[in-house]
Amino acid sequence: MTDGTDTQESGLEDEILIEGIMAAGALIAAADEKVRIDETLGLEEMLHAPELLKRCDLDEALQLYVSYLDRLSSDFERGKEEALDAIALCREDIEGPILILRGGLAVAQADSELSDREVDMIEEICQAMGVEGFDSLGLIGGTPTHSN
């Protein structure tokens, strides 16, 4: 018989991971100073993936995303620091960096245009997780348009 500790730890890890994914999505959405609905929809679609759907409540996840967007819009530097701190908590999780970057890329590629600011933000997210670069994880599918 178990004492429920594993389930509680798993739930906490899931909450931390989902918060990291939402923080990354918000950072990238706000990076080019134009938050678009298709970016939010791209992130929502990513959350429907089987490996994530069982880990989170979609409404709560999207509330976290909006909360980070609000913080970034009111004080970008402070909001960015808070978001990067949430992301850094996931660096030890085996799946964490990949899932966080998948969420970020879902937002960045939603408009089929990858701006320099979005690329810079993705690199900062990688640094917060101790990852050398998102291209090293093989996550880029298709070639989005790169713009300045």
Packed helices 76-88 and 5-31: angle between N→C axes, nearest 10 degrees? 140
Distances (CA, A) of 141 to 51, 134, 135: 19, 12, 10
Contact 112, 145 (CB under 8 A): yes
Domain assignment of residue 144, yes or no? no
Distances (CA, A) of 50 to 60, 124, 147: 17, 27, 32
Rounded average pLDDT over 119-131: 88
Domain assignment of residue 2, yes or no? no
Q: Tell me which residue range forms the domain holding 121.
A: 8-136
pLDDT (tens digit, 9 = 90+) per residue, 67-90?
Answer: 999 999 999 999 999 999 999 998
Domain assignment of residue 146, yes or no? no
Domain assignment of residue 142, yes or no? no
pLDDT band at 11 (very low <50, low <70, confident <90, very high): low
Question: Residue written as tokens 């009111």?
Answer: 74
Domain count along the chain: 1
Q: What is the spatial distance between Cα 56 and Cα 19, in angstroms, rounded to a whole number? A: 10
Domain assignment of residue 38, yes or no? yes
Contact 18, 56 (CB under 8 A): yes
Q: What is the pLDDT of residue 42?
A: 85
pLDDT (tens digit, 9 = 90+) per residue, 45-70?
Answer: 888 887 777 778 888 999 999 999 99
Domain assignment of residue 77, yes or no? yes
147: left (phi over 0), alpha (psi -120 to 50) or beta: beta
Sign of CA dihedral 68, 20, 84, 35: negative
Domain assignment of residue 64, yes or no? yes
Task: Specify the higher pLDDT residue, 64 or 144.
Answer: 64
Q: Is pTM, for the whole model, over 0.85?
A: no
- Beta-carbon contacts of 86 under 8 Å, excluding residues fewer than 6 positions away, are 16, 19, 20, 23
Domain assignment of residue 52, yes or no? yes
